[in-house]
């Protein structure tokens, strides 16, 4: 792809994503949910999770691996435990269905969890946890994927990029939101660097022959490494357990065994936990946490996690999008239209 870009408004980004998905077999509810997720990513400056993902979403629809008309089913296992069957659909609509009862239960009982199964998750994680913190709750979620990451000291992949997201509510302020891969870099970012011809930091991954390299295209063919050596590796292991057996789903290597990644995003599980800090602590924690973050923000060079995304939201203007990507999505939209 070229480096040329064009400017699209957030409304145009949403419309492009939604109409492309509709033309390829997604129904109104699923297309709207995915388009909203993609637009949020572009709005917040996370281009690796924005329109960049639409061709991948569409590959899944075209292959029939993903059900574009799926309606998630939620089971209340106990008053605080929910199990959600995504019915082999994409995750954004599943979140719209399962988060409201999860939030209600956590606000009533202090905490609640949901196990999502049979879901094709292909987006960032912060929208889920941020929604919980907007309701005054702590949010935590994890998801695994395909084995692209080797454990510390190894060269054979067994972990997914295994992201996790955490959010903390702040009354009258933006929540603190952490969203991070346990790999040294998210695969989407590596793929964009490969597309645009940029080098990545040494330690991001290994080439197909097992050598350290800064060539993103070589890493895409090779293997990613965990961030922080054995510490990131340990967190990746935790995510595998939380997002696999705990929620009744597969480890990343098991996902690969049952899934053809070239036909779109893999099917797997997601763990989501919501906690009420007021109920668990027995007091209002707002003043205490505000004092902490005042001290934190006063440290020169420090930046609260999630602050960049919240700052980007203040700009409601157009976003710069890779021109070839837009052409690709427009062509997919045209190809899928029934005349």
Domain extent at residue 133:
74-183+226-305
pLDDT of residue 285: 93
Q: Is the pLDDT of residue 52 over 90?
A: yes
Of the candidates 23, 49, 183, 276, the residue annotated as catalytic is 49
Q: How many Å apart are CA 33 and CA 201, to the nearest integer?
A: 34
253 and 175 in one domain?
yes
172 and 321 in one domain?
no
With cut-offs at 50, 70 and 90, classify the pLDDT of residue 336: confident
Active-site annotation holds for 2:
no
276 and 150 in one domain?
yes
pLDDT of residue 188: 80
Sign (positive or negative) of CA dihedral 25, 29, 35, 41? negative
24 and 102 in one domain?
no
Does a structural domain hold residue 216? no
CATH of the domain at 331: 1.10.1530.10
Residue 280 token pair: 């668990």
Active-site annotation holds for 167:
no
pLDDT of residue 293: 95
Residue 62 token pair: 């075209």
Question: What is the chain's percent helix, strand, coil content, to nearest 5?
Answer: 45, 20, 35
Share of the chain above pLDDT 70, in %: 98
Q: How many Å apart are CA 316 and CA 328, to the nearest integer?
A: 25
- Please write the tens of the pLDDT for every residue from 156-197: 999 999 999 999 999 999 999 999 999 999 888 898 899 888
Q: How many Å apart are CA 57 and CA 17, to the nearest integer?
A: 10
DSSP 146: S
Residue 305 token pair: 């996690």
177 and 277 in one domain?
yes
Q: How many Å apart are CA 307 and CA 89, to the nearest integer?
A: 31
Q: Which residue has the tokens 């045209």?
A: 334
Residue 212 token pair: 């350290």
DSSP 180: E
Does a structural domain hold residue 193? no
Q: Which residue has the tokens 């924690």?
A: 285
Of the candidates 189, 233, 240, 276, the residue annotated as catalytic is 189
Find how far residue 130's CA is from the centre of its chain.
Answer: 12
User: Long-range contacts for 255-262 (Cβ within 8 Å, ≥24 apart)?
Assistant: 255/144, 255/145, 255/146, 255/160, 256/146, 256/147, 259/65, 259/146, 260/63, 260/65, 261/146, 262/59
Print the SS3 string covering 54-107: HHHHHHHHHCCCCCCCCCCEEEEEECCEEEEEEEEEEHHHHHHHHHHHHHHHHH
Q: Are strands 111-120 and 81-90 parallel, antiparallel or unpaired?
A: parallel
CA angle 321, 49, 96 (to 5 degrees): 120
For residue 118, with 0-12 CB atoms within 10 Å meaning exposed, 13-18 middle and 19 or more buried, which class applies?
buried
Mean per-residue pLDDT, 197-221:
93
Does a structural domain hold residue 209? no
Mean per-residue pLDDT, 194-216:
93
CATH of the domain at 119: 3.30.1370.60
Instruction: Report the domain count for the chain.
Output: 2
Q: Are 223 and 230 in contact (CB under 8 A)?
A: no
171 and 149 in one domain?
yes
- Please write the tens of the pLDDT for every residue from 108-157: 999 999 999 999 999 999 999 999 999 999 999 999 989 999 999 999 99
Q: What is the pTM of this model?
A: 0.92
Q: Is the pLDDT of residue 292 over 60?
A: yes
Does a structural domain hold residue 90? yes
Q: Is the pLDDT of residue 1 over 60?
A: no
A 10 A CB-CB count for 323 gives 14
Mean per-residue pLDDT, 312-330:
95
- Please write the tens of the pLDDT for every residue from 224-274: 999 999 999 999 999 999 999 999 999 999 999 988 666 788 999 999 999
Q: Are 146 and 162 in contact (CB under 8 A)?
A: no
- Of 133, 128, 161, the residue nearest 147 (C-alpha): 161
DSSP 222: S
SS3 38: helix
126 and 40 in one domain?
no
Q: How many Å apart are CA 79 and CA 205, to the nearest integer?
A: 44
83 and 32 in one domain?
no
Does a structural domain hold residue 198? no
Active-site annotation holds for 48:
yes
Does a structural domain hold residue 202? no
DSSP 249: -
43 and 100 in one domain?
no
Does a structural domain hold residue 144? yes
Of the candidates 48, 73, 97, 263, the residue annotated as catalytic is 48
117 and 9 in one domain?
no
94 and 46 in one domain?
no
Does a structural domain hold residue 192? no
pLDDT of residue 339: 37
99 and 48 in one domain?
no
Q: How many Å apart are CA 39 and CA 118, to the nearest integer?
A: 24
């Amino acid at each position: 792809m070229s480096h040329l870009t064009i400017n699209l408004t957030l409304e145009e980004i949403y419309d492009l994503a939604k109409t492309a998905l509709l033309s390829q077999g997604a129904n109104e509810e699923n297309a709207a949910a995915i388009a909203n997720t993609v637009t949020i990513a572009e709005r917040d400056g996370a281009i690796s999770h924005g329109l960049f993902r639409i061709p991948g979403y569409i590959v899944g629809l075209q292959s029939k691996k993903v059900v574009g008309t799926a309606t998630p089913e939620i089971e209340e296992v106990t008053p605080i435990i929910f199990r959600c069957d995504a019915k082999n659909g994409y995750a954004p609509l599943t979140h719209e269905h399962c988060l409201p009862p999860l939030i209600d239960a956590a606000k009533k009982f202090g905490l609640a969890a949901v196990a999502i199964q049979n879901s094709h998750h292909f987006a960032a994680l912060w929208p889920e946890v941020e929604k919980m913190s907007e309701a005054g709750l702590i949010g935590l979620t994890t998801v695994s994927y395909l084995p692209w990451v080797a454990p510390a000291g190894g060269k054979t992949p067994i972990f997914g990029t295994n992201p996790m997201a955490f959010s903390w509510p702040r009354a009258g302020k933006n929540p603190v939101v952490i969203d991070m891969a346990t790999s040294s870099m998210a695969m989407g970012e590596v793929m964009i660097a490969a597309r645009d011809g940029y080098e990545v930091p040494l330690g991001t991954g290994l080439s197909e022959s097992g050598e350290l390299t800064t060539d993103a295209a070589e890493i895409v063919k090779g293997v990613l490494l965990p961030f922080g050596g054995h510490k990131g590796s340990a967190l990746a292991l935790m995510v595998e357990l939380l997002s696999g057996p705990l929620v009744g789903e597969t480890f990343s290597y098991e996902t690969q065994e049952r899934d053809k990644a070239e036909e779109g995003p893999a099917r797997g599980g997601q763990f989501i936990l919501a906690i009420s800090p007021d109920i668990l602590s027995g007091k209002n924690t707002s003043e205490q946490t505000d004092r902490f973050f005042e001290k934190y923000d006063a440290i020169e060079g420090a930046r609260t996690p999630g602050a960049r995304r919240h700052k980007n939201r203040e700009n409601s203007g157009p976003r710069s999008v890779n021109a070839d990507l837009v052409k690709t999505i427009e062509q997919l939209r045209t190809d899928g239209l029934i005349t």
